[in-house]
Amino acid sequence: MEISTAQAETMAFLNNDLCYDILRRLDGQTLASAACACAAFYSISREEKLWENVCASMWPSTNRDDVKSLILSIGGFKKFYADCFPLIVNKEFTEYRRNEYLEYPDEWMEAEYYGDIDELESTSPSDFVSLVDIRFRDQPICSKVLWGVPNTNGSNLWFYSCPFRVDLLNYSASEEDRDFHQGRGITLSESNGLPSILSMETERKDGKLWQELRDGIRLSWIIVNRKEKQAANFSSWIPLGGQRHWPTDKDFVIRFGSILPARDVLPCQVAECVLVMKFKLTREGSSTALRLKELSMQLEDMEGAHVNGRNSLSILKEALSCRRSRNYGEVLESCRLYSKVQSELKEEKLRNENRIDRLCILSGIAAFATLCCYYIL
């Protein structure tokens, strides 16, 4: 934001209350720009209450008293916004090659990839807090706060060695139906802007409902490390992809995520944070609704294998200090590039396996021919 000298002189006559009233109406990016406009705006823009309002507007989960105390303990709302508004960007995996991955000795793979569960852990599941917010058409529809990682109390040995997964919604079928009918479930309906569909057959053909969901849904999954006093948004905000499970069932699966550095943690030096939302299509009379039945996080390596709990905690901790960007295009480009490299590696692996199979067949044929010659002679 740039202003002329005359405008700056005019602003000098505005009292602080009027300046504050102007700034409190701005979003985070505009407020940050306004702080550069003049000395008065800069001074007032440092007020924590302004940034608290900005965070509450963008992430309703931060409006809880316990979360407010958490944010103040790690540096305040201005720092929290600066850490969590830009998204994680990582392109270091472009230097990775499968041949380099195979050079790691089996001993390193076994000891480091699966982890030494007897080693004293410096990072605990209780260090992390998840602040999750879902919006549809820019309207908040769900906010959840998760303290620690579920199902780890008293069972750390199991957690450290098993695949890491966080289920924010852990419904059984009966609980899901009960909450839905009692109005406690998380549901998108025509009142939220979903189009009405005449029949399942029509939706299968034009995909109108599916398109509206992909275009309108947004996800923020912020992870806070209380011990390190750091925070970052691990979601891509905009969907990276999805799938309609027609005609096997009535679920819509939306995928978000980010690419995380895993230096000295995984052999491939990189991991993908996979965030999955699953909606179930329902019809109440003539109305169309989508019921949120799953929201989860898990980490996968370059080959699609699930990362265990111990290494996942190390990756999450490292990712809290990695590079970020306010440019959504750059974030999405890094995710697409990762998918491209991952596909190339899978194709290379398949070619190598086919080559090995052919060599085994040829070796078998040669051995059989030698054996036949032996008996003939």
Burial 143-178 (b: 16+ CB within 10 A, else e): bebbebbeebeeeeeebbeeebbbebbebeeeebee
pLDDT at position 27, please?
83
Bridge partners of 325, per DSSP, are 87
pLDDT at position 22, please?
79
The residue among 120, 127, 130 whose CA lies nearest residue 157 is 120
**Would you say 86 and 235 are in contact if contact means Cβ atoms under 8 Å apart?**
no
Q: Is this prediction's pTM over 0.85?
A: no
pLDDT at position 374, please?
57
Q: Provide the token pair at 279.
A: 């909606």
pLDDT at position 264, please?
84
Distant-in-sequence, close-in-space partners of 45: CB < 8 Å, separation ≥ 6: 23, 31, 32, 34, 35
Query: How many Å apart are CA 136 and CA 193, to the nearest integer?
Result: 9
* Per-residue pLDDT tens listing for the chain (377 residues): 444 554 444 555 556 777 778 788 888 888 888 877 777 777 788 889 999 999 999 999 999 999 999 999 999 999 999 999 999 998 876 555 444 544 444 444 444 444 444 444 578 899 999 999 999 999 999 999 999 988 776 556 788 888 999 998 865 555 555 554 444 578 898 888 888 887 777 788 888 889 999 999 999 999 999 999 999 999 999 999 988 876 566 789 999 999 999 988 888 889 999 999 999 888 766 788 899 999 999 999 988 899 999 999 999 999 999 899 998 888 888 888 888 888 888 777 777 766 665 666 666 665 656 656 655 65
Beta strand extents in the chain (DSSP E only): 87-88, 128-136, 139-147, 165-167, 187-189, 217-225, 230-233, 241-244, 251-261, 270-284, 287-300, 324-325
Tell me how far CA of residue 10 lies from CA of 7, 18, 51, in angstroms: 5, 13, 25
Query: How many Å apart are CA 271 and CA 259, to the nearest integer?
Result: 6
